[in-house]
Amino acid sequence: MPPPSTNARRRARSRTPTMLRARSHTPRRRPTTTRGVTASQQRRTTTTPQRRRTTTTTKQRPKTSKSPCRSRTNTDRQKWIKANIPGALQSLAKVFAGGLHNKGIRVIAWDVDQTVLDTHTGGRLPDDPKRNEAFFHTHMSRHFVALFLAACELKMENTFVTFGDNKDNVPRKTVAGERLVGRMLGVFTSAVSPRTVAFHPKNNTPRLSLCNGKNAHLELLGLVPTASVLIDDDPQNIRAAQKSGYHTIQVVGQGGFTME
């Protein structure tokens, strides 16, 4: 059979689809994804589980109060009162406070050493809240606590007059005056700190005479003599207050204030 002519080959070639001719001349390429990674490689990488990165964080300790006396809650104070102030003493304090109230007394001025406390501190204590709280637990008069609370119920004011102040103390090493009274009261009450006058006559300008006792303290409080009572263990302070017209109660003995 003779070979086909040139024209016949051209006609047969023209009948072949264009796409088939293009595919026959171009090599097959595997589908790729971005960055030259094939689809099969991408499937393998996506099916393998990835490790989670774990970061270690350090836990911060909660901040604690610097003053344990202030960290006491009302529940702690109520427990302390229930354990240390029996019901009979509370009843006695209500009767005692009622007697003062019937006499027209509206303000009680308390001395601290040998009165509120059963010992003499010299007007100062080491500036250590934990040790101070333990000290007050031991040496604070229970009769003082009972009368203080009973007077508050009758809307009577409790104030404090003391010779101890911070002027003759070493800074940041001792506590005295208003700060000492505040820590002491924080054991059993959360009330606002009462008015406190704390200074020694020798530190006053001009210097005051000790013969006047605590009359200068009472005058600074602006008290009405006939409506105020000074509770103190020093006979000299008692005599000076009586001369100025104040009611007085002298504490006798070494056990601090008692209502008996």
Read off φ and ψ for residue 73, nearest 5 degrees.
-95, 170
8 Å CB contact between 188 and 72: no
Q: Do residues 13 and 24 touch, judged by C-beta distance below 8 A?
A: no
Q: With pLDDT > 90 as the criterion, what percentage of the chain qualifies?
A: 47
CB-based burial label for 69 (10 Å; 0-12, 13-18, 19+): middle
167 has a pLDDT exceeding 80: no
pLDDT at residue 253, rounded to an integer: 85
d(CA 58, CA 64): 18
Respond yes or no on whether the N-terminal peptide bond of residue 206 is cis (omega within 30° of 0).
Answer: yes
Alpha carbon distance 125, 105 (integer Å): 32
What residue type is 249 in one-letter code? I
Whether residue 168 contacts residue 135, with contact meaning beta carbons closer than 8 Å, is answered with no
Name the more confident of 144 and 207.
144
Please write the tens of the pLDDT for every residue from 94-145: 999 999 999 999 999 999 999 999 999 888 898 899 999 999 999 999 999 9
Give 59's pLDDT tier (boundaries 50, 70, 90). Answer: very low
Start-to-end CA distance of the chain, whole Å, equals 150
Pairwise CA distance, residues 143 & 109, whole Å: 15
Whether the CB-CB separation of 178 and 170 falls below 8 Å is answered with: no
CA nearest neighbour of 199 among 219, 180, 216: 216
Most confident segment among 106-120, 179-193, 196-210 = 106-120
Rounded CA gap, 119 and 204, in Å?
A: 26
pLDDT band at 68 (very low <50, low <70, confident <90, very high): very low
Between residues 73 and 239, the one the model is more confident about: 239
**Token pair of 94 as six digits:** 């209500």
CATH, range 74-250:
3.40.50.1000
Inform me whether the pLDDT recorded for 200 exceeds 90. Answer: no
Distances 121 to 67, 84, 116, 118, 131 between C-alpha atoms, Å:
21, 22, 11, 10, 14
Residue 64 confidence (pLDDT):
37
Q: How many CB atoms lie within 10 A of CB 231?
A: 20
